[in-house]
Amino acid sequence: MIRLVIADDDLLVTTSLKTIVEASGEIEVVGIGKNSQEAIKLYEEAQPDVVLLDIRMGESTGLEAAVTILSKDKTAKVLLLTTFSDDEYIAEALRSGIKGYLLKQDLAAIVPSIKAVNNGQSVFEGSIIERLPDLLQTKNTDNLKAFNLNEKDYSILSLVAEGLNNKEIAERLFLSEGTTRNYISHLLEKLELRDRTQLAVFYYKNIYTS
83-110 confidence digits (pLDDT tens): 765 666 676 776 677 878 888 878 888 9
Among candidate residues 75, 104, 132, the one where a domain is terminated = 132
Q: Are residues 169 and 116 in the same domain?
A: no
* pLDDT value of residue 55: 85
Q: Are residues 140 and 128 in the same domain?
A: no
Among 7, 44, 9, 11, residue whose Cα is nearest residue 29: 7
- Tally Cβ neighbours within 10 Å of residue 110: 19
Q: Are residues 126 and 157 in the same domain?
A: no
Pick from 15-29, 54-68, 108-122 the range whose average pLDDT is largest.
15-29
Strand partners of residue 123: 100
Number of domains comprising the chain: 2
Task: Give the three-state DSSP class for 8.
Answer: coil
Among candidate residues 132, 151, 182, the one where a domain is terminated = 132
Among 162, 188, 166, residue whose Cα is nearest residue 177: 166
The CATH number of the domain holding residue 23 is 3.40.50.2300
* pLDDT value of residue 127: 60
Q: Are residues 119 and 142 in the same domain?
A: no
Q: Are residues 25 and 127 in the same domain?
A: yes
| Whether 61 contacts 55, CB under 8 Å | yes
* pLDDT value of residue 98: 82
| Whether 27 contacts 4, CB under 8 Å | yes
